[in-house]
Structure 1
Amino acid sequence: MRRRAPRTTLSEEERALWRRVAETARPLRDAPPERSAAEAVTAPQAPAAAGISPAPARPAPPPADIAPRILRPTGQPERPVAWRLSPGERPGPVTANTPGLDRGTARRLGRGRIAPQARLDLHGMTAERAHAALNQFIAASAAGGLRCVLVVTGKGGDARGGRGEGVLRRDTPRWLAVAPLCAMVIGVFEAHQRHGGGGALYVYLRRRR
């Protein structure tokens, strides 16, 4: 069987098609620059159905309260761990219903049966120096995983006559009730007599996470 020789010319129809292709072609130098792989990636989008508008985006949820939280031992609503002190208020003794402490711990602490794991004595310090020492002491104690520490302020003033109040005894609870220390503290309480009574404070720190 005689093999047909390959055709070397284009038909009139093929020439017309080629002319249309040539007219729409762009030189390579005019092509848009190549994007990087990162630029080429886009989030997949579902094709919109005919006549259906895309659903409006859901509003972002409100930011969650990121402050550490604990449950009250009596089953009452939870509260932030960060400790607060009302103006003019002074820490009192530990009670069985102290928020943030289970009843057993509160009872033993109130009776002086929990020995503080560390102690800071602010006697003889200026307010500025005492404040700096307290910040360092509480931060180091919290970082070390301690739970119960003692801060000795002294009673100051004229304790026998009942006049006045020592600056450190007055200001130390206030320092503990503001940032950055308040976020590390569950509660501050007047110490038992065996640990200094009204001249010292138990500072109960939250558990390190």
Structure 2
Amino acid sequence: MTVLKAQSLQDLQPLRRALAEAAAREAQRQQEQREAERRARAERMLFQDAVGPVQPLKGQHHGRRWHAPQPPEPLPLQRERDEERVLRESMSDEFDVSTLLDVDDQLSFRRPGIGVEVTRRLRAGHWSIQRQLDLHGLRRDEAREALGEFIRLAHRTGLRCVRIVHGKGLGSPGKEPVLKGRVQAWLVQKKEVLAFVQARPAEGGAGALVVLLQPGKRAGLPQP
């Protein structure tokens, strides 16, 4: 399991690099496809130049037509920029999460339509933790942005189970776990999140959450 210490957004570079590599491979594939199409067009023109002008046979309809090849789809760079631009807006600090949490010993969350057995399995370690984000030492805005991008990239790279370390608030004024409540509210607002539970004592206890994500397409990225 890879552990990310989010002192800055640069700590998310491994996931970003994986996406960039996938985009580069796709660009190379499209370039090769365009080159093959160019060669095919050149060969057709060579044949036409060799045989000269032709006339269709009278009384016969073959119904054959040349169709221009479909242009390759553009790389989704603008979509990625749009996602990054609205990332901060998608998670509000004013969101009231208290009514959406299951009132159990550990205040778990499951999205509507998700059965209680999912949170039970999540708490029991049914899914292996594949990545971790540590928010210690970050200001509120930095933590929100780091968490939003981490969840988005984790989902896009096909991860299902991650851990978010928010701390127990022992270093905060009044020793209140302020960041814990905000992390819960931010996660509830992310559509990629199916459920989360408080981590088991060996995995961080009250200072961390284990999060289950929606299944996502791996887009050709390597298995973590």
TM-score by length of 2: 0.44
* Structure number with higher relative contact order (C-alpha < 8 Å, ≥ 6 residues apart): 2
Q: Which protein has the larger Cα radius of gyration, Structure 1 or Structure 2?
A: 1
TM-score calculated relative to the size of structure 1: 0.47
